[in-house]
């Protein structure tokens, strides 16, 4: 399965890159590093190393969205989707990706892990 990846260095209108939206000391950076450091295989999260077919979101990216959202009391898929459109911390964490509410099926893969 192919994955979609965000690009935090993508040039935008204001500021030059998504990475510039988030301060160096912003707590969202800790969540990003934390999820990246997790052993996904040990948690039972399957990362397909040979992506083919239509792309889907990288499971680590979606886990970041869930963990960060849950820590701020945002659990509903519709609210998480809205946050990826309007909240700079979510936009930065997702690298500009904006999964739709119907993409909430990813949550099923993390039920036991979360």
Of residues 75, 82, 79, 95, the one with CA closest to residue 28:
95
Burial class (CB in 10 A: 0-12, 13-18, 19+), 61: buried
Model confidence pLDDT, tens digit, residues 54-109: 677 888 888 899 999 999 999 888 899 999 999 989 999 998 888 887 765 666 66
pLDDT of residue 74: 93
Token pair recorded at residue 84 = 């990826």
Please tell me the predicted confidence (pLDDT) of residue 69: 94
The full DSSP string for 51-62 is: --SS-EE-HHHH
Tokens read off for 98: 């904006």
6-36 pLDDT tens trace = 887 776 666 667 788 788 899 999 999 998 8
| pTM for this model (two decimals) | 0.69
């Amino acid at each position: 399965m192919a994955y979609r990846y965000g690009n935090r260095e993508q040039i935008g209108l204001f500021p030059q890159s998504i990475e510039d939206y988030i301060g160096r000391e912003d707590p969202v950076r800790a969540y990003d590093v934390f999820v990246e450091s997790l052993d996904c295989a040990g948690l039972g999260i399957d990362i397909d190393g040979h992506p083919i077919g239509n792309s889907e979101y990288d499971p680590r990216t979606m886990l970041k969205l869930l963990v960060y959202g849950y820590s701020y009391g945002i659990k509903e898929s519709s609210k998480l989707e809205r946050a990826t459109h309007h909240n700079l911390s979510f936009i930065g964490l997702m690298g500009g990706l904006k999964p739709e509410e119907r993409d909430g099926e990813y949550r099923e893969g993390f039920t036991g892990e979360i």
